[in-house]
Amino acid sequence: MDVLGERVLELGPKPEPGRPYHDFRLTRDADGVAWLLFDRADSSANTLSAEVIEGLDRVLTELETNRPTGLVVRSAKTSGFIAGADVNEFRGAADPKQVEVAIGRAHAVIDRLEALRIPTVAVIHGFCLGGGLEVALACQMRIAISDARFGFPEVMLGLHPGLGGTARFTELVNPMQAMTLMLTGRTVDARKAKSLGLVDAVCEERHVRNAVRDAISGRLKRARKSPLVALFNLGPVRRLLANRMRAEAEKAAPHEHYPAPDALIDLWERHGGDKAAMLAAEKTSFAYLMVTPTAQNLIRVFFLREQMKKLAGSGNGIEHVHVIGAGAMGGDIAAWCAGQDLRVTLADMKAEPIASAMKRAADLFGKILRKRTASRDALDRLIPDMVGEGVRGADLIIEAVPEKLELKQKVYSAIEPKMKPGAILATNTSSIPLQDLRTTLQRPERLLGLHFFNPVSRLQLVEVVSHDGTDAQLLKAALAFVGAIDRLPLPVKSSPGFLVNRALTPYMLEAMVMLDEGIDQMVIDAAAKKFGMPMGPIELADQVGLDICLDVGDMLRSKFGDALPPTPAWLREKVARGEHGRKTGKGFYVWRGGKREMPLGTRPQGAAQPEPTPEMIDRLVLPMSNVCVACLREGIVDNADVVDGAMIFGTGYAPFRGGPLNYARTRGPENVASTLRALAGKFGDRFAPDAGWETFK
């Protein structure tokens, strides 16, 4: 139940005096049942640090000395059970032996919890992730509140579960399902967890005490273990399934770049079904992964996300958003905002784009909102607005019309007189400087940029663009709005292409030059993927739209000249023919149903594909690092870490590299600058290293 919007938890009796546990509350009820409440003192969420684990060890000594009739493990935090390990303690790990010793101490405590000779019950609400789920698995029974979510997100940090989860999870749940969850990092809700056999019961908060009594007394109907657990843990079956898992994992995360999935599969293949052996091997495997560059860079990315969340600040005052332009970007921005509990009016000159946007919104809500009623409510909040009346009441107007300066200024002239006092006028322009856009405005201080990235529902970054006259309070409000809709803000000063498009355009245009040189498009894309990019520049250009790439390239070249690769004449002809990429079904690739099918003008059937060369990779990726250094030097952005976060969350730049500046730092700034000079000598001044390399560290 909820009172004044806050959860009222059944937390057992009040704490007894004289029981000093820094991060726990240990009490006993009238039936002699101990209630152990995780309540980390220095955080709003429970995480498992070495100190917390030591505290749990002291609690277990108390429970072994004065044995209760049963033990209930809960969280005192309203946010959830336990969010996992304290990731701060993972940073900078370099010695696998030290890591193994530390994880061994934690293992011993979790094993001690499992070995208690009394009924033990974990009662779980909210998130139960990583190490938190491993604590729950060490209890004999698990009761989930209906809002609980379970998962092992360690793979996102380049790791696998390290507190016994690999052994206990595959021993309890169908190993195919258990391994899939650990390999993907996906979460499941309480009902799904019950169907998997992960939890024994699902109830509402008001029924917790009765459920606990049933569990302690033995009356709770336990989840039945699937017969597939024993079958799939047989040696020959494990080997067969492990090979299949490896093939699937390699498609999503190549072992060369992401060793954790392969390490997890090896662990289960070798030791599945032998709990003691798997627990021992898990510690060694976890320690090895912890010190890999992949894990350390992904841990860095975790903190980059947290750092960027803080840039949003707090106090969002935006309730009504009006979006002008129901095309691919405008429609999807409107849908995302409506899905985040905001009232949204969506305007366009034609009904067809609005109808298409509403259909895409319905599809999106069906995927991201768990309840049918929530999807219905989100659609109710997204209001078609052919006449544009929403402008009058909107707190924020987002203009998302095509990238034409005159068109955007025409829109501003029509809507500015209708805007209410204090409303923000935001443009989703991907490249046009705000100094150019503001020239016809009566109140230019209200103009700022909110540059979303495609696809809006998957890419977390929003560039929040200011010009030298932007109202500081409105800029602050825009940052808070971005945080409120669960996106990551990047404050940038207005400049051609801002940060991300300025850095990404050379990547795609250099690929066009390489095509002009006769290099196969599949080889070019393979070069980028070999570096670790999620897709190659040719495919990315098709995804973005060749018309947009051409417009952005022309605009940036008008500002930066020879610093950008030349645009081949055939690209203009391709755009003129309507071959714009994915959205028209034909670009460099053929697209059907939104999926890439085959390249146009491919090699003869059966011909071997040449291997990408290191020079190809450098030509594609080093200009991105060069632009990022230039943007730092020019003050477009003021923080190198945030630049790396922006490129990862806005473009998918290989996360295991830690971002283009971190990659340059790892490779060595002198090495990068000298390589750029060599490329400039061979291919032209567009590769000339920026002056910022002289001071970059």
Radius of gyration (C-alpha) of the chain in whole angstroms? 28
In degrees, rounded to 5, the angle at the alpha carbon of residue 150 between the alpha carbons of residues 148 and 153 is 140
Q: For the segment 175-190, what is each residue's pLDDT rounded down to a tens digit? A: 999 999 999 999 999 9
Residue 602 confidence (pLDDT): 47
Residue 403 has pLDDT above 50, yes or no: yes
Residue 697 confidence (pLDDT): 86
Confidence class of residue 47 from pLDDT cuts 50, 70 and 90?
very high
Catalytic residues: 134, 154
Q: How many residues does the chain have?
A: 697
> In a 10 Å sphere around its CB, with 0-12 CB exposed, 13-18 middle and 19+ buried, how is residue 518 labelled?
exposed
* Residue position matching structure tokens 């023919």: 577
Residue 4 confidence (pLDDT): 31
Phi, psi (degrees; rounded to nearest 5) at 580: -100, 0
The continuous run of DSSP H or E covering 463 comes out as: strand 461-466
Please report the DSSP string for 413-444 in residue order.
HHHGGGPPTT-EEEE--SS--HHHHGGG-S-G
Mean pLDDT within 385-399: 96
Rounded to whole angstroms, how far apart are CA atoms 479 and 108?
Answer: 45
Domains and CATH numbers, the chain: 2-291 (3.90.226.10), 311-494 (3.40.50.720), 501-694 (1.10.1040.50)
Q: For the segment 572-617, what is each residue's pLDDT rounded down to a tens digit? A: 999 999 999 998 999 999 998 878 886 655 444 455 678 999 999 9
* Residue position matching structure tokens 């020079």: 615
Residue 14 confidence (pLDDT): 64
Q: For the segment 481-497, what is each residue's pLDDT rounded down to a tens digit? A: 999 999 999 999 999 99
Single-letter amino acid, residue 483: G
Residue 538 has pLDDT above 60, yes or no: yes
Q: Are 342 and 313 in contact (CB under 8 A)?
A: no
Residue 552 confidence (pLDDT): 86
Rounded to whole angstroms, how far apart are CA atoms 109 and 50?
Answer: 11
Phi, psi (degrees; rounded to nearest 5) at 281: -70, -30
Residue 371 confidence (pLDDT): 82
- Helix, strand or coil for residue 87? helix
Residue 6 has pLDDT above 50, yes or no: no
Residue 17 has pLDDT above 60, yes or no: no
Strands (E), 316-393: 320-324, 343-347, 382-384
Q: Are 369 and 328 in contact (CB under 8 A)?
A: no
Q: Whole-prediction pTM value?
A: 0.91
Residue 604 confidence (pLDDT): 45
